[in-house]
Amino acid sequence: MKDILYLVIPCYNEEEVLQETAGRLLEKINNMIERQLISCKSKILFVNDGSKDKTWSIIQDLHERNNTISGINLSRNRGHQNALLAGLMTAKEYSDMTISLDADLQDDINVIGKFVEQYYNGSDIVYGVRSSRETDTFFKKVTALTFYKLMRTLGVDMVYNHADYRLMSKRALEGLSEYKEVNLFLRGMVPLIGYKYSIVEYERHERFAGESKYPLKKMVAFALDGITSLSIKPIRIIAGIGFAIFIIGGAALLYSLIVNFMGRTVTGWTSLTLSIWMLGGIQLLSLGVIGEYIGKIYNETKRRPRFIISDKLTDTDKNDK
């Protein structure tokens, strides 16, 4: 008996792509079941992340027509990471392994076979890594590269050019479920779980319909979230800057005293204004960074639920696991 695979797909306003995505994934899954690579209980799990369009009714319709397709409906829009976690935590109950991917099929589904192969070879986590960024705009390429470099410098262990296209075994998901944080940055959290992992390269395509749900504003917020969820280096850097300024201040004090005693007091307008502005700026920036962390602590201590599932499509009548 082969293992059960669940494909987990978060969807937010994806009515334009769902039919096509479901069709292509079904073909893939059925093909793998036929070749006896995975169990016939394998499924596609769509997570509706509070879409405003017909996404959920399309999922319901797909489920009615085909029992390989199931879905969960979140109570409201919670964002990609939370929707993905909701899907993974649901799939964990029914599957031996899960693969998370985007609804727009930007992630090449032809490597799913390789993911599963690595799983059978003993990997608990298989990271899909983009072999090139040709389909990206110049801007996205530069910002993405800077982001990965910055994360590395800040001491966050992230797989280079890996987004959220990955396979996770049941026990890796159980590991993930032990991480109770509310601020989710899955691609930074998964490497913390440990276990044996491997990497599979793939080509990322362009979205075949609809628009990206990640405008620049969300992208920047996501990147900042990633940094502050996983690293406290920015606070250390601030402490470092503070210390350096303290030393410089000491030297300046000494200098001004000496100059004073020598009776050569100068007007000193430039240095005075400069230091007021510079110190004011650094202080505000530092307060902002520290505030960001306090905000995180505030959110974490409230322990609010990361997602609430309002509907679940299951086939209890069909006696599925």
Q: Let me know: does 82 contact 162? Beta carbons within 8 Å.
A: no
Closest of 162, 173, 160, 3 to residue 85, by C-alpha: 173
**Which of 61, 117 has the CB closer to ligand UDP?**
61
Binding pattern for the stretch 12-51 against ligand UDP, x by CB under 6 A and - elsewhere: x-x----------------------------------x--
**Number of residues in contact with Mg ion under rule CB under 5 A:** 3
Cα–Cα distance between 234 and 239 in angstroms, integer?
A: 9
One of 102, 107, 124, 225 touching Mg ion (CB under 5 A):
102
Q: Is 207 exposed, middle or buried (0-12, 13-18, 19+ CB in 10 A)?
A: middle
One of 5, 7, 11, 72 touching ligand UDP (CB under 6 A):
11
State the minimum distance, in angstroms, from the CB of residue 177 to ligand UDP.
Answer: 20
Q: Is residue 130 a contact point for ligand UDP (CB under 6 A)? A: no
**Which of 84, 200 has the CB closer to ligand UDP?**
84
Helix axes 170-177, 80-94, angle to 10 degrees: 130
Cα–Cα distance between 119 and 319 in angstroms, integer?
A: 27
One of 30, 39, 66, 77 touching ligand UDP (CB under 6 A):
77
The stretch near ligand UDP (CB under 6 A) out of 211-219, 236-244, 273-281, 298-306 is 211-219
The stretch near Mg ion (CB under 5 A) out of 40-48, 103-111, 183-191, 239-247 is 103-111
One of 102, 108, 124, 225 touching ligand UDP (CB under 6 A):
102
Q: What residues are paired with 126 via a beta bridge?
A: 167, 198
Please give the structure tokens belonging to residue 209.
């319909």
Instruction: Count each helix (H run) and each strand (E run) in the chain, helices first.
Output: 10, 8
Q: Is 135 helix (H, G, I), strand (E, B) or coil?
A: coil
CA distance from start to end of the chain: 14
Q: Is residue 143 a contact point for ligand UDP (CB under 6 A)? A: no
The stretch near Mg ion (CB under 5 A) out of 95-103, 246-254, 257-265, 307-315 is 95-103
**Which of 74, 238 has the CB closer to ligand UDP?**
74
One of 42, 55, 106, 161 touching Mg ion (CB under 5 A):
106
Q: Is residue 204 a contact point for ligand UDP (CB under 6 A)? A: no
State the minimum distance, in angstroms, from the CB of residue 175 to ligand UDP.
Answer: 23
> How long a stretch of residues is the chain?
321
Contacts of residue 18, defined as CB under 8 A and 6 or more positions apart, other chains included, come to 11, 46, 55, 58, 59, 62, 103
The sheet carrying 97-100 orders its strands as 197-202, 125-130, 162-169, 97-100, 5-11, 43-48, 69-74, 309-313
Q: Is residue 103 a contact point for ligand UDP (CB under 6 A)? A: yes
Q: Residue numbers of the site for Mg ion (CB under 5 A)?
A: 102, 104, 106
Interface with ligand UDP (CB under 6 A): 10-12, 14, 49, 77, 79-80, 83, 102-104, 106, 212-214
